[in-house]
Structure 1
Amino acid sequence: MTSETLGKRFAPDRVAILGGGPGGYEAAMVAADAGAQVTIIEEKGLGGSAVLTDVVPSKTLIATADAMRRVNASTAFGVRFGEGGGGGDQYETEAWADFSQVNRRLLKLAETQSKDIHASLEAFGVQILAGRGRLAGEAQNGVHTLEVTDSSGETSEVVADAVIVATGATPRELPTAVPDGERILNWTQAYNLEEPPEHMIVVGSGVTGAEFASAYRRLGADVTLVSSREQVLPGEDADAATVLENSFARVGVKVASKTRAQSVKRTDGGVEVTLSNGEVLEGSHCLMAVGGVPSTSGIGLEEAGVELTSSGHIRVDTVSRTTATNIYAAGDCTGMLPLASVAAMQGRIAVAHMQGGAVKPLKMHLVASNVFTSPEIATVGVTQEQVDSGKYQADVVKLDLSTNPRAKMMNIREGFVKIFSRKGSGTVIGAVIVAPRASELIYSLALAVTHKLHVDDIASTFTVYPSLTGSLSEAARRLHYKITDPADH
């Protein structure tokens, strides 16, 4: 389906939303602002796992780790600690983490963010029901009924003309490595620690595993990362993954590659992780980061006519429709990229479609994403793998940050900017940035990809000198010469 303006074939007066995460609360505010009567049903707290147990707390932990990195690297800037420069331990710059305070802070931030979302929804006039909701069969005369069970077991009903399911996902658990919340942890339990782990074994080298491995090492723990693949972050740009692997090696993160964790068990003083290659790793804690399972069972989806995939995800199209009339879905329960930004966009698209407004279908190649390791890895659009496979014909420039004056001032020793432009036209179609705060730097190139800007549009735009953004402009200028030089074609 292409972008279109749909007629007023259906404008629901009543909208019910299952789940209070980004897909749910963003949709609720948009629908309520458009005049619908909106009810949102959430069992564990507004914000969902993104706010309460995943994105907000984990990125707060990572921010603390980054603060320690900067403090410990401060001597490179000529910074000294202690009064008078008298020497001895007054020059000590080795920071340490008070884990009980770190975790109290991040959980408080998550709680505050959840309360802020609650207040915003109330300001929009959204009715908020605390409890577990489920669809009560197929729609009758175009009206959906949902059953809501609160914490006391009391059940009530909500009727709606349209429903959005945004129930998210929960951590995947292996039967041979069941988390206990003390020594064997999943990503919702990582904030129970009162002290830094002596040796954290992280199982899974995807985004979540790499982020926690990076953070815990910066916070002072010994870290071993178990990776089933040869490359850490197998789904990311290979050049970026190499930079991260080199960074891991430099700071002492050990990587057990091309092997899997067969089992994890507690010992008297920690954990033992048995690998598929026969090796046994001993550590104080183990964090299981092996993906998520969609929260789609037991909520009446199939009885209501909603088709699920073999993995249990809700099957949706690019405007968030399910296979059941006037039931939409958004977020991790749909199997799209498990990002809060994608969930929120799916929710907004669902509301626009059901109300007959202008709809821009979800285009996954326009999604900007970031891995919050040290350094960060941000991407948008076409990938190097797609270019190498011949799926896209592109000119590519990769510019190391080592030549950037601001990077030198900031003591940045690794990282790069990579831009892809469509061969022949010069349109920006993709980018990779590896740098501190890459999550902020990628926005300008995401704009370029989304709005099909030419590399000359980037090259001719003023940047501040000195700044890391200067490397974006410089890479675009090099692409200009690559495009216009006949010798390159």
Structure 2
Amino acid sequence: MTKRKTSVVIIGGGPGGYEAALVGAHLGADVTIIDSDGLGGAAVLTDCVPSKTLISTADYMSEFETASDLGVHLEDEEGDEVSDARAQLAEVNGRVLALAAAQSADIGARLAEVGVRVVKGVGRLLTPTSVEATTEDGVETLAAEVILIATGATPRVVPTAQPDGERILTWQQIYGLEELPEKLIVVGSGVTGAELAQAYLGLGADVTLVSSRDLVLPGEDEDAAALIEDVFRKRGMEVLNRSRMAGAERTEDGVIVRLEDGRTVEGSHVLLAVGAVPRTANLGLEEVGVEVADSGHITVDRVSRTSVRGIYAAGDCTGVFALASVAAMQGRLAMQHALGDAVAPLRVGAVAANIFTDPEIATVGRSQREIAERGVEVDSVMMPLATNPRAKMLGINEGFVKLFSARGSGTILGGVVVAPRASELIFPVALAVQHRLSVDQVASTFTVYPSLTGSLAEAARRLHAID
């Protein structure tokens, strides 16, 4: 006798949705995804993949500058040194969008391979066990024993600065630009604003960053944020601290941004990076009793359950942590829990994150300040990469590694890496935090010499407790 499959309906095809679908199919469920924007969601089509591809292009251009410091010079046929590399933005953006589309297609192929049905349309809850899908062909009602909401978020806009897709842009609209902005004003110095401000600076644009805080990247490690702001200024970016936008409007041939203190900033384009809002309106949440916070985010527990039995939520619509990796983990946990598989609840304190500036900022665990606020005595050490032999070979002059450990036990609680490709270097620290390793266990693990990871082991050695 064939066992009946559990019916699962997922609203949203981003990382939370498609990763959940793969797990659900693997565990034997009958899975349907209702997707309105394209598989991969904003993370693949308009956010993470495109922005990091753009940033990678800017990073590649910066390597020309580093090459001359290493004794390598580019010359033309006459032997004259070539000093400038130029970005053709139409070609750059064409590659960015093609890569995003290819990634989305790969996700679709993988879902089809495991038998997941994808419905292109808009989903809405009818009851705790049924979902309505509105498509070009009409309306379909889907019965569901398990429902996952993974609808993501959308760029926040303000009434006094309405995006037009031409001069006043959100981060989802910048890939339509044909030419490099002559002078780009970036409003917002959080992760998205900082990343894209430096990317366009690296591509050759004149960039002004409007930051409402004392320091860029508020909420991040202060040493890392201070270093990045210093890098921004050294490379020619104008950073306006403690400056809040009142509004933005088009002029005859550009834009003007008005600040609350009366100052104005003129440019050719303005990029708005002032946060995101969850896409939870018109989903039928209130009608079926799903608890929603005042911010619009869906309330979930550590295995992604909402307040209604059988309904789960994952990703940016939950407000847990606006990262594609966290959305994917939430989606996987939801399916594992709903379908009776073994599951370990989400540990926010073990999340690894990266800011793709140059150098990158990678973090894992809670910050030193957060740990101290919880009453835990912390030992910490910070080592500049300038003293690392591998960094010297690579021409790396900026950056550091930092580790935090619990005083007494030596358990590693968190860490920060500021370096090129820090996103690749943070993994051993993430392993240490996830598995509650001690500084002595990390210090006694072999590293390659010379290597940047050698500085992580050295930091752990310096944290060894002496009785």
- The interval holding the TM-score normalised by the smaller chain is over 0.9
Deviations along 1:342-376, whole A, 9 cap, x unmatched?
A: 00000011011111221211110010000000110
Query: What is the CA deviation profile of residues 403-449 of structure 1, one whole-angstrom value per residue up to 9, with x for unaligned ones?
Result: 00111111111100000111000111110000000000000000000
Q: Which residue of 1 aligns with 2:201?
A: 217
Alignment correspondent of 1:47: 40
The correspondence of residues 358-377 of structure 1 with structure 2, limited to 5 A, is 358-377=342-361
Q: Which residue of 1 aligns with 2:112?
A: 122
- How far is 1:277 from its partner? 1.4
After superposition, where does 1:174-253 map in structure 2 within 5 Å? Answer: 174-253=158-237
Q: Give, as a single letter, the amino acid of the residue that structure 2 aligns with 1:286.
A: V
Q: 1: CA distance between counterparts of 2:414 and 2:131?
A: 43
Q: Distance in 2 between matches of 1:338 and 1:387?
A: 21
TM-score for both structures, normalised by structure 1: 0.93
Residue in 1 aligned with 2:57?
Answer: 64
1:56-205 equivalences in 2 (<5 Å) = 56-82=49-75, 86-87=78-79, 90-136=80-126, 138-139=127-128, 144-150=129-135, 152=136, 154-205=138-189
The answer to whether 1:17 aligns with 2:17 is no
User: Is the CA contact 1:386–1:392 (under 8 Å) kept in the aligned structure 2?
Assistant: no
> Is the alpha carbon distance of 1:125 and 1:195 closer, same or farther for their aligned partners in structure 2, counting shifts above 3 Å?
same
Structure 1 residue 388: deviation in Å?
4.8
What secondary structure does 1:191 align onto?
helix
User: Whole-Å Cα distance in 1 between the matches of residues 366 and 114 of structure 2?
Assistant: 38
- d(CA) in 2 for partners of 1:27, 1:290: 29
Percent of aligned pairs sharing the same letter: 57
Deviations 1:80-125 (A, max 9, x none): 22357x54xx311311101001000010000000000000000010
* Distance in structure 1 (CA, Å) of the matches to 2:160 and 2:184: 18
SS at match of 1:91: coil
Matched, 1:289 2:273: yes
Cα deviations across residues 149-189 of structure 1 (Å, max 9, x unaligned)? 11x36111211111000000010010000100000000100
SS where residue 334 of structure 1 aligns?
Answer: coil
Alpha-carbon distance in structure 2 between the residues aligned to 1:116 and 1:440 = 23
Structure 2 match to 1:6: none
Taking only aligned residues, the RMSD between alpha carbons, in angstroms, comes to 1.2
Measured in 1, the distance between the counterparts of 2:60 and 2:150 equals 34
Shift of 1:382: 2.6
Q: Deviations over 1:220-267 (max 9, x none)?
A: 011111111101001100000011011011001111111211000000
| 1:312 aligns with one of 296, 318, 323 | 296
Shift, 1:12, TM fit: 6.7
Which residue among 334, 337, 353 is the counterpart of 2:337? 353
Cα 1:12/1:317, change in 2 over 3 Å: farther
In the alignment, residue 181 of structure 2 is paired with which amino acid?
Answer: P
Does the alignment pair 1:258 with 2:232?
Answer: no
In the TM superposition, what is the alpha-carbon distance from 1:29 to its structure 2 partner?
0.5
* In 2, Cα distance between equivalents of 1:93 and 1:17: 52
> How far off its partner does 1:391 sit?
3.0
1:270-291 CA distances to partner (integer Å, 9 max, x unpaired)?
1000001111000010000011
Secondary structure of the equivalent of 2:442?
Answer: helix
| Aligned residue number for residue 450 of structure 1 | 434
Tell me how far apart the structure 2 counterparts of residues 117 and 324 of structure 1 sit (CA, whole Å): 29
CA shift at 1:392, angstroms?
A: 2.2
Structure 2 unaligned runs (5+)? none
Contact between 2:381 and 2:459, CA under 8 Å: does it hold in 1?
Answer: yes
The offset of 1:330, in angstroms, is 0.1
SS of residue in 2 equivalent to 1:73:
helix
For 1:463 and 1:313, the matched residues in 2 are separated by 43
CA deviation map 1:286-333 (0-9, x unaligned): 000011110000111111211110000101111100011100000000
Amino acid at match of 1:413: N
CA–CA separation in structure 1 for the residues paired with 2:372 and 2:320 = 24
Q: C-alpha separation between the residues in 2 aligned to 1:32 and 1:318?
A: 22
Q: Find the aligned partners of 2:341 and 2:207 in 1 and give their Cα distance.
A: 50
**Residue 374 of structure 2 corresponds to residue 384 of structure 1:** no
Match of 1:148, as an amino acid?
A
Distance, in Å, in 2 between the alignment partners of 1:19 and 1:390 is 36
Contact 1:12/1:161 (8 A) holds in 2: no
Please state if 1:407 is matched with 2:381: no
Is the contact made by 1:46 and 1:117 (CA closer than 8 Å) also made in structure 2?
yes
Determine if contact 2:76/2:82 at 8 Å carries over to the other structure: no
Q: Which amino acid aligns with 2:133?
A: V
Amino acid at match of 1:239: D
* Cα distance in structure 1, aligned partners of 2:159 and 2:137: 30
Aligned: 1:478 with 2:462: yes
